Homo-oligomer: A and B are copies of this chain.
């Protein structure tokens, strides 16, 4: 039972299916928000192909998920970068990035969550961080450095402060959907509180 009818690619265009597979997996993550649900067979069904057709394009199931993670990190970095352009000050830039980050995580919870989930298999296989993720982080630390340059922060370690801010953003994005029924304050208020507190300089 396929979800879509699909024409076989022209000769030489076989690589096109690779992107369709990644998109199908990303779509499943959006729907289910659970890594386990994104099985190789489910990806194939979603893409409208037979399961073995994935193998010419990816070594195994984890390789597909790896590709989704890289792509999603790139999209996250892009979203933060877009939000940052045009900021007239470091403070504004930091705020814009944090809001874009929180919005991304909130709008695409399944895809966001998989960024930080390692399967037992790829734990040993991927000890290196994703370069796209590094890039996203560097936007944030760069903005904090800009604050120092502009004199709105006297931080002696902007990298550390960016890491703390990132951890806090991640926590907010993660803990709220994971605690259904908990009487959370408005998410925007919480975000503002985090950003406000963590962009001030340590005493």
Contacts and interface: CB of A to CB of B under 8 A. Distances in A.
Interface of A: 32, 34, 36-37, 116-120, 123, 126-129, 133-134, 137, 157, 159-161, 163-164, 166-176, 178-182, 184-185, 189-190, 193-194, 196-198, 200, 202-203
Contact of A181 (B128, B157, B180): B128
The oligomer's copy count stands at 2
A25 to B, nearest CB: 17
Nearest to A190: B164
Given A163-B184, A194-B167, A174 B116 contact: yes
Contacts of A181: 127-129
Given A167-B171, A172-B167, A117 B178 contact: yes
Nearest to A194: B164
